[in-house]
């Protein structure tokens, strides 16, 4: 997506003119079942790794970037994903890591060999937080209800028939206390989401873009995150190099982080 398109999408995301009509949802539609279907469409069913390139834009100009490798696998006890995020670039950050296991998230710096607790909502770069780059199962952490059915413009300005869902945190594991999520009917692909703080303030708006085959499904390879207050502040997350990978359980122990070596 070029810089001009990023600015236009950012402005449109908060423009009242984009409010589309909402019809009454089918009474048979089950919010929790739709969330589970969305999880299945979003997440591979095997342990995996991917490369995540984050780029921060201001007024359509790229001003910062970070490259990460994410390693994720489901914990069979909690049915939630466990994540290791390893910093690759820029060189000053290489080797730093984030560990997320359930409600706990730590940041590890090899310079000090110390790991400190952090919040999933802590900003990583631009509009992207630590909790945005990890893999999660929404059905595990949220209770959802169907708000309605909408015709929504996606990141390419194409009209999509969507379910509009409201997700409220069901436990302390949830990265956000509340989400709004628009899912395309039939595919259950995420089209758009809104993310709220614990106080109920809208933090950011995200569009899911560029769906490509990866690990047995069509995955969104780009997420466009727009600041809810200033739409000229945009961060893109580009996922690539998806690989099925066996990941040792030992990686997800805080004390193991200083010894974790990734080829």
The backbone torsions φ and ψ at residue 258, rounded to the nearest 5 degrees and listed phi first, read: -60, -20
* Inter-residue contact 224 to 9 (CB < 8 Å): yes
What is the C-alpha separation between 217 and 44, in angstroms, rounded? 7
Among candidates 233, 211, 232, 231, which has minimal Cα distance to 158? 211
In a domain, 97, yes or no: no
Residue 45 covered by a domain: yes
Residue 250 lies in a domain: no
Q: Which of 13-22, 103-112, 162-171 has the lowest mean pLDDT?
A: 13-22
Mean pLDDT, residues 82-107: 93
73 lies in some domain? no
Q: Is 249 helix (H, G, I), strand (E, B) or coil?
A: helix
Residue 77 lies in a domain: no
The reported pLDDT for the residue numbered 97 is 96
User: Mean of the per-residue pLDDT values for the chain?
Assistant: 88
Share of the chain above pLDDT 70, in %: 89
**137: buried, middle or exposed (CB in 10 Å: 19+, 13-18, 0-12)?**
buried
CATH number for the domain harbouring residue 12: 2.50.20.10
Q: What is the pLDDT of residues 168-224, one digit of tens each?
A: 999 888 899 999 999 999 999 999 999 999 999 999 999 999 999 999 999 999 999
pLDDT at position 21: 38
Has residue 44 been placed in a domain? yes
Structure-token pair, residue 192: 């758009």
Q: Is the pLDDT of residue 157 over 50?
A: yes
Paired residues of 152 in beta bridges: 160
**Interval 114-146: pLDDT, tens:** 999 999 988 999 999 999 999 999 999 999 999
Q: Is the dihedral of CA 121, 198, 201, 195 positive or negative?
A: positive
What is the model's pLDDT at position 66?
97
Tell me the mean pLDDT in the region 49-61.
97
Q: Tell me if 213 is assigned to some domain.
A: yes
Q: How confident is the model at residue 263 (pLDDT cuts 50, 70, 90)?
A: low
Q: Are residues 9 and 63 in contact, defined by beta-carbon separation less than 8 angstroms?
A: no
184 in a structural domain:
yes
Q: Strand locations in the chain, DSSP E?
A: 22-23, 48-58, 61-74, 81-89, 97-101, 104-109, 114-117, 123-125, 128-129, 142-153, 159-169, 178-184, 190-196, 202-214, 217-227, 233-244
pLDDT of residue 14: 46
Give which of 49, 82, 66, 181 is closest to 123, Cα–Cα: 66
List the domain range (segments joined by +) for residue 145.
3-65+120-241
At residue 1 the predicted structure's pLDDT band, cuts being 50, 70 and 90, is low
Domain count, the chain: 1
């Amino acid at each position: 997506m070029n810089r001009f398109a990023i600015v236009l999408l950012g402005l449109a995301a908060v423009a009242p003119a984009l409010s589309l009509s909402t019809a009454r949802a089918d009474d048979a539609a089950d919010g929790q079942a739709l969330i589970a279907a969305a999880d299945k469409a979003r997440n591979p069913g095997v342990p995996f790794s991917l490369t995540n390139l984050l780029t921060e834009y201001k007024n359509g100009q790229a001003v910062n970037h970070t490259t990460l490798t994410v390693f994720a696998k489901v914990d069979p006890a909690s049915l939630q994903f466990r994540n290791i995020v390893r910093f690759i670039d820029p060189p000053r950050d290489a080797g730093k890591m984030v560990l997320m296991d359930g409600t706990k998230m730590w940041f590890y710096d090899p310079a000090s060999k110390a790991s400190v607790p952090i919040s999933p909502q802590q900003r990583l770069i631009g509009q992207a937080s630590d909790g945005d780059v990890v893999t999660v199962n929404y059905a595990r952490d949220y209770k959802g209800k169907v708000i309605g059915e909408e015709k929504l413009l996606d990141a390419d300005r194409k009209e999509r028939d969507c379910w509009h869902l409201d997700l409220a945190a069901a436990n302390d594991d949830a990265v956000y206390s509340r989400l709004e999520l628009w899912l395309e009917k039939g595919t259950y692909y995420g089209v758009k989401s809104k993310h709220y703080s614990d106080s109920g303030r809208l933090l950011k708006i995200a569009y899911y873009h560029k769906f490509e085959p990866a690990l047995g499904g069509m995955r969104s390879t780009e997420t466009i995150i727009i600041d809810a207050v200033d739409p000229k502040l945009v961060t893109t997350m580009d996922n690539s190099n998806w690989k099925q990978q066996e990941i040792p359980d030992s990686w997800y122990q805080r004390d193991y982080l200083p010894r974790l070596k990734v080829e």
